[in-house]
Amino acid sequence: MFQIGIRLHDVNSGCAEELQTLEARAAKAREEGFCCVHLAPQKVMKGISYDPSAMTEGLGTYFKRVFQKNDLDIAVLGCYLNLAHPDEVKMRDIKARYYGNMRVAALCGAAMVGTETGAPNAEYKLDRNTHTQEALNTFMHNLEDVVRVAEDYGVTLAIEPVWNHIVYTPSLALHVIHSIGSRNLRVIFDPVNLLCMENVDDRESVFADAMDKLGEHIAMVHIKDFIRQDGKLVSVAAGTGEMDYTSILRYLKAHKPYVQISLENTCNDNAVASRELIERVCDGI
């Protein structure tokens, strides 16, 4: 019913260098029973350029060949750069990098290019200006340029609401979707990323609100867990924290058949167990 995948940079992380190549990680992901991957090239293939001019047709076809060989889909090509960066020169480079990722995504068959929603500072950190209307306006202005290029390439761009970023609630994400007004703009639903210390104990309501408001726009799902540590929420692998996935998976089973789900924050020791947990919960619904 679901297509369960994994962040490729979590596969073979910490292993010998020869096991951290794109080919070795892809083969391991398939061996562990995953059918799709979240591909963040910079985190998987290090030591090469990812400047806009390096995002070539050849790179796209190379990705396509590797993942087809291993019977894996690319659920999302990650381009998590700050679309609210305050430096105009840096912002031009960031947009160019998104455009290069659109080109590669179109050629490698990635289901979408995924991104978060930034912060109005160079450090990409939550500050007192992050949840302001000015920051939101800046983000949407820059996002619109990227979305129009996504339309040109026939690629989906999916934004991921995160509490620590500019678009931090389902209502704001829906506002962005409606304001941009493009069929190529969709949403990555990461339930844990909507949580903070103030709302974590009411998380089922947070999740229900997200599914109600964003349901038709959800293109894929990220699944992880969380623990509380030193007054903060810390992301961990599914099944190793406080999360109960029943309501989320029940919704997905009813409304999003064969949706791609990417596990996050796993390691070699728990990736398969996390996948099996999600499968058991789904089977029991």
Domains in the chain: boundaries: 3-284
How confident is the model at residue 18, as a pLDDT? 84
- Residue 232 dihedral angles phi and psi, to the nearest 5°: -130, 160
Count how many residues are written for the chain. 285
**For residue 162, what are its two tokens?**
């995160």
User: For position 262, what pLDDT does the model report?
Assistant: 98
Q: Given 3.10.20.600, 3.10.250.10, 3.20.20.150, 3.40.50.1580, which CATH number is that of 3-284?
A: 3.20.20.150
Contact between 263 and 33 under an 8 Å Cβ cutoff? The reply is no
CA max distance for the chain:
52
Q: What is the pLDDT of residue 174?
A: 98
Alpha-carbon 53 to chain mean position: 24
- Indicate the pTM of the whole model: 0.96
| Cβ neighbours of residue 38 closer than 8 Å, sequence gap 6 or more | 5, 6, 7, 8, 75, 76, 78, 114, 222, 262, 264
pLDDT for the residue 2: 87
Per-residue b or e along 254-284, where b marks 16 or more CB atoms closer than 10 Å to that residue's CB: eebeebbbbbbbbeeebbeebbebbeebbee
The parts of the chain modelled with pLDDT lower than 70 are none
The predicted structure's pLDDT at residue 160: 98
Question: What pLDDT is attached to residue 17?
Answer: 85
